[in-house]
Amino acid sequence: MDAAIENFAILDFEASSLSQESWPIEVGLSWIENGHVQTWSSLIRPDPAWDLDDWSPQSAEVHGIPLSELEDAPPAAEVAEVFFDVVGRRRLASDAPEFEVRWLSRLLQAPGRVEIPLIEDFDAVSFAVFSGYALDMLYETVERRPAPHRAGLDTARLARGWLRAAEHQASLQTENKIA
Q: Exposure string (b/e) for 79-108, b if CB count within 10 Å is 16 or more? A: bbeebeebbeebebbbbebebbbbbbebbb
How many whole angstroms separate alpha carbon 155 and alpha carbon 131? 21
111-158 tens-digit pLDDT: 998 889 999 999 999 999 999 999 999 999 999 988 899 999 999 999
Q: What is the DSSP letter of 110?
A: T
How many whole angstroms separate alpha carbon 71 and alpha carbon 28? 19
Residue 100 contacts residue 122 (beta carbons within 8 Å): no
Domains of the chain: residue spans and CATH: 5-178 (3.30.420.10)
Amino acid at 179: A
pLDDT per residue of the chain (179 residues) written in tens, 0 to 9? 456 899 999 999 999 999 999 999 999 999 999 999 999 999 999 999 999 999 999 999 999 999 999 999 999 999 999 999 999 999 999 999 999 999 999 999 999 988 899 999 999 999 999 999 999 999 999 999 888 999 999 999 999 999 999 999 888 766 556 65
Residue 50 C-beta-side C-alpha neighbours within 13 Å:
27
Q: Is 157 exposed, middle or buried (0-12, 13-18, 19+ CB in 10 A)?
A: buried
Q: How far, rounded to the nearest angstrom, does the alpha carbon of residue 50 sit from its chain's CA centroid?
A: 22
CA dihedral of 94, 22, 63, 27, whole degrees rounded to 10: 50
pTM of this prediction exceeds 0.85:
yes
